[in-house]
Amino acid sequence: MRFAVIQFGGSNCDLDTQYICEEICGVDTDLIWYKDGIKNDYDAIIIPGGFSYGDYLRSGAIAAKTDIMQDIQSHASNGGLVLGICNGAQIGCETGLIEGIFTRNRYPKFISKPVCLRVENNISPFTSIYQKGEVIHIPIAHKDGRYVAPKDVTSRLNKNNQIALRFCDQNGNVNEESNPNGSKENITGVLNRDMNVMVMMPHPERASEMLLGSEDGLKIFKSMVSYSEKM
Amino acid sequence: MIYSAKITIHLKKGMLDPEAQAIRHALQNLGFATQNLSSARLFEIGIEAKSADSAHKEAEKMCERLLANPVIHDYTIEVRE
C-alpha cells in the first residue's frame, strides 16, 4: 500500500499529512512536487491544505490548472482514492472533481477553531469507520470555506448520499448557529458520485493524535487504509 | 493586431458578497448613504488576434478555463484596438 501527498507552491499541511499517514497509520507515503507528476501507482492521493499560489484569483484556482491535476483526475477515474483537505478541497472543486465551490466565508474573516461535524455518510472509503450520525471534533482554518452550489446540485448530492460531513453543534444538530462560515446546508465534506473522491474543509490531520486534543480525524485516514487493504 | 480585452468578473445576481457588505458598512461609518454596493474584478489583457471577434473569443475561453468560476461568477468582455 502506498499513499501520496501532493506539494504545490504554498502547500503547508503536506508534512503533517504525510506524518499521520506514515507514523500513525504505517503507510508508506511519498511527497510529490507538483512539477514531477504522478509516476507511480498509489492507493490514495491526498491534496493537503495550505495557500497554493497565495490564493491568487480564487483559492485553489491556479493549482487546479496544473498538469499534475490531470494525473490526479486519471487516478480518480480509474477508481483511486483522492482526498482534498482545506486548500486541497478548494483545488478539488476548482478542478471539477467535486461539484460546487468553497468561497469567501459569510463573515469574511479567517476562522481557526475546533468545530463539531456530523458524519452523514459512513459507507464511503473515507468514512467507513465512523458511525452514521456520529459527532466528531476536527478543527477548521480557512477564510474561503463557505460551500456554494446550485440547488439542483445540492439536491442531487443529498439524494445520492454524497454529503459526507456537515457542521453541527455538540449534540449533532445541524443548524444556523453551528454553521461557522455560511456553507450551504452546513455542508463541509463532499463526495463524488463513485465515492472515491472526497473534499473537506476541516483538517483531519490536525485531529489525529490525542496530544492535539482530538483523534477524531484519524478515522478518515484509517478508513482509507482499511479500504485499500481490501482492494 | 493587438487588441485590449477588458474583462469584468462579477458575482452572479443573488450571490452573497461578504467583502462588498463590509465595504458598504465602512462607507456608512464614514457617513455615506449607499443603496447597494457590489464589487467586481477587472482584468485588462492584451491579445494578439486577427480580428476583434477572435480576440473576444480568446478572452471568453480565458474566462471559461480560468478567470471565472461558473458556479458563482458572470463576466463581461469589452474588446478594443
**Contact A61/B69, CB-based, under 8 Å?**
yes
Rounded to the nearest angstrom, the minimum Cα separation between A20 and chain B is 33
- Region A161-169 average pLDDT: 98
B22 touches chain A (CB under 8 A): yes
Where are chain B's structural domains?
2-80
Is residue A30 scored above 90 in pLDDT? Answer: yes
What's the confidence (pLDDT) of residue A39?
A: 96
Query: Would you call B69 and A106 a contact, using CB atoms and an 8 Å cutoff?
Result: no
Contacts of A20 by beta carbon, 8 Å cutoff, 6+ apart:
A204, A205, A208, A209, A218, A221
What's the rounded mean pLDDT across residues A74-82?
98
Residues in chain A: 231
Specify the DSSP class assigned to residue A23: I
- Residues A53-67 have a mean pLDDT of 96
- Distance from A165 to chain B by nearest Cα, in Å? 21
- Please determine, for residue A40, whether its predicted confidence score (pLDDT) is greater than 90: yes
Helices assigned H by DSSP within A65-150: 67-77, 87-95
Number of domains in chain A: 1
Beta strands A2-7 and A44-47: pairing type? parallel
- Round to whole Å and give the CA distance between A231 and A40: 17
- The pLDDT mean for chain A works out to 97
> What percent helix, strand, coil does chain B show, rounded to 5?
35, 35, 30
Distance (Å, whole) CA A133 – CA A141: 23
Q: What is the mean pLDDT of residues A135-153?
A: 98
Mean pLDDT of A60-86: 98
**Which chain B residues contact residue A108 at CB under 8 A?**
18-19, 22
**Domain that residue A62 falls in:** 2-230
Is the CB of A108 less than 8 angstroms away from the CB of B67?
no
CB atoms within 10 A of CB A1: 16
Distances (CA, A) of A66 to A26, A52, B27, B54: 30, 11, 40, 26
**What stretches of A78-217 show up as alpha helix (H) in DSSP?**
87-95, 151-159
CB pair distance less than 8 Å for A108 and B69: no
Inform me whether the C-beta atom of residue A180 falls under 8 Å from chain B C-beta atoms: no
Question: Of the candidates A76, A84, A10, A65, which has an alpha carbon nearest to the alpha carbon of residue A38?
Answer: A76
A166-203: per-residue pLDDT in tens?
Answer: 999 999 999 999 999 999 999 999 999 999 999 999 99
In terms of Cα–Cα distance, which of A231, A230, A220, A229 is closest to A82? A220
Q: Which residues of A touch B67 (CB under 8 A)?
A: 57
Q: What is the pLDDT of residues B12-27, one digit of tens each?
A: 999 999 999 999 999 9
pTM of the model: 0.95
* Percent residues over pLDDT 70 in chain A: 100
Give me the residues of B, 31-60, that contact A with CB < 8 A: none
Mean confidence (pLDDT) of chain B: 96
Does ipTM exceed 0.85? Answer: yes
**CATH classification at residue A191:** 3.40.50.880
Mean pLDDT over A78-106 rounds to: 98
3 state SS of A147: strand
Strands in chain A per DSSP E: 2-7, 28-33, 44-47, 81-85, 101-103, 111-119, 135-142, 146-148, 163-168, 187-191, 197-200
CB within 8 Å of A103: residues ≥ 6 apart: A58, A59, A144, A146, A148, B72
Mean pLDDT computed over A63-89: 98
pLDDT of residue A229: 96
- Per-residue pLDDT, averaged over A99-111, amounts to 96
Fold of the domain spanning B2-80: Mth169; Chain: A , (3.30.1280)
Whole-number Å distance between alpha carbons of A179 and A167:
6
Of B16, B65, B71, the CB nearest to A149: B71
Residue B7: closest CA among B49, B48, B51, B55: B55
Q: What is the pLDDT of residue A231?
A: 85
User: Average pLDDT for residues B46-51, to the nearest whole number?
Assistant: 97
Which among B18, B67, B69 has the least Cβ separation from residue A105?
Answer: B18
Phi, psi of A34 (to 5 degrees): -55, -30
What is the C-alpha to C-alpha distance for residues A205 and A221, in angstroms, rounded to an integer? 9
**Measured between CA atoms, how close is B73 to chain A, in angstroms?**
11
